[in-house]
């Protein structure tokens, strides 16, 4: 006499299957989230490299001087370095949450109302932020931090702090890349600096002083 073989799952088998599906789903979602973060970091890094190229061209046409962090005289108005660069390069006016070289995509999740437009700040250590910097003054540009991810300026218009100094850089920096901040250096390279390496960040910023 043949014994019948049950086709249905036992309760234990069903529980094991459900658990495995839950684990695999969790791993998939975690992997997707990590990939998304890496892609945003890459976009931010590329933004900073493009900004570096524009800044170097700007300096070449302005006696070796970069724009000041703020109060640049452009068409009769006092504007930030970002607007000065934007006008210089003939860029269109940035629209909130629309891709542009000044927009770090991660800021669309961290800024007020999830609105972001210009999200980087320029170093002004040792100055009041209104002094243009001469590139030739720096003999070791690879250790001088120039631009970094900045916090929302609080005006709810999608713009971040445009300048920071030696005393307020901690409140200006936004560690929006998995507790890291992206920084562009005077020599054109970009580093992703963990929040835990605050002393290193401070050194890079203070190296700007002249």
Q: Please spell the DSSP secondary structure of 64-108, one letter per residue.
A: TBPPPSS-EEETTEEE-HHHHHHHHHTPPPP-TTS--TT--TTHH
Mean pLDDT, residues 130-144: 95
**Number of neighbours of residue 98 by Cβ within 10 angstroms:** 11
Which residues make beta-bridge pairs with 72?
Answer: 79
- State yes or no: pLDDT of 20 exceeds 70: no
pLDDT at 35 (0 to 100)? 81
Q: How far apart are CA 204 and CA 201, in angstroms?
A: 5
Of 126, 132, 127, 121, the C-alpha closest to 62 is: 132
pTM: 0.84
Closest to 153 measured CA to CA, from 134, 171, 170, 135: 171
- For 95-114, what is each residue's pLDDT tens digit? 999 999 999 999 999 999 99
For 141-178, the pLDDT digits (tens) are: 999 999 999 999 999 999 999 999 999 999 999 999 99
pLDDT of residue 38: 92
């Amino acid at each position: 006499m043949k014994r019948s073989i049950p086709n249905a799952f036992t309760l234990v088998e069903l529980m094991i299957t459900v658990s495995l599906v839950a684990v695999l789903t969790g791993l998939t979602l975690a992997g997707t989230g990590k990939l998304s973060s890496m892609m945003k970091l890459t976009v931010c890094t590329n933004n900073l490299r493009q900004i570096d190229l524009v800044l170097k061209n700007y300096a070449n046409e302005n006696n070796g001087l970069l724009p000041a962090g703020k109060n640049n005289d452009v068409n009769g108005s006092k504007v930030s370095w970002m607007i000065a660069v934007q006008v210089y390069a003939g860029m269109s006016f940035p629209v909130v949450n629309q891709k542009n070289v000044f927009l770090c995509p991660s800021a669309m999740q961290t800024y007020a109302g999830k609105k972001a437009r210009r999200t980087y700040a320029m170093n002004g250590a040792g100055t009041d932020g209104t002094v243009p910097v001469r590139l030739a003054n720096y003999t070791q540009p690879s250790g001088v931090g120039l631009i970094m991810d900045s916090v929302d300026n609080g005006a709810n218009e999608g713009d971040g702090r445009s300048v920071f100094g030696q005393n307020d850089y901690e409140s200006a920096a936004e560690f929006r890349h998995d507790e890291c901040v992206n920084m562009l250096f005077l020599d054109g390279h970009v580093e992703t600096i963990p929040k835990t390496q605050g002393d290193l960040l401070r050194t890079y910023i203070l190296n700007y002083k002249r």
